[in-house]
Amino acid sequence: MKKLSFKKGEIIFKNGEPASHIYLVISGEVGLFFSTDPKNPYITIRENETFGEMGVIDNELRQSRSSCLSDCEVVQIEREIFLKKYESSDTLVKALIKSLSVRLREANKKLMRSR
């Protein structure tokens, strides 16, 4: 787990990369971009919000690019550390995370197709 600083415009991860970390935004704003619309973020991640978790939970490759919309500080958490926290969570909490993740991935696919 480490704190990283990025300048506005820097890329944190790209489509197709293995999902090796999840991220928590400490300051600044990070945009997530579909490959079909590389200029407009489909979502903006703000302070105290996480991103990059879906690929980690589902063990899939990155399906979007993350770039800094401003100078940013983020905490980068290794896949294994996150999965340990996830696995030791309450059964209902785990089912919830899995459901939200699946539904968000499905919603994103529909949104990507509608662009």
Q: Which residues of this protein are in contact with a copy of itself, per CB under 8 A? A: 22, 24, 43, 45, 48-51, 53, 77, 82, 85-86, 88-90, 92-93, 95-104, 106-108, 110-111, 114
Closest approach, Cβ 72 to a copy of itself, in A, equals 15
Nearer to a copy of itself (CB atom), residue 39 or residue 48 = 48
Comparing CB distances to a copy of itself, the nearer of 17 and 47 is 47
When the beta carbons of 7 and 35 are compared against a copy of itself, the nearer one is: 35
Cβ neighbors of 77 (< 8 A, separation 6 or more) are: 1, 21, 22, 23, 24
At closest approach, how far in Å is the CB of 74 from a copy of itself? 12
Of 104, 21, 17, 89, nearest to 56 by C-alpha is 21
Shortest separation between residue 38's beta carbon and a copy of itself, angstroms: 18
CA–CA separation, 62 and 44 (whole Å)? 17
- Kind and range of the H or E run holding 2: strand 2-6
What tokens does 54 get? Answer: 């879906």
Calpha distance 72→68 (Å, rounded): 6
Return the number of the residue (7 or 104) whose C-beta is nearest a copy of itself. 104
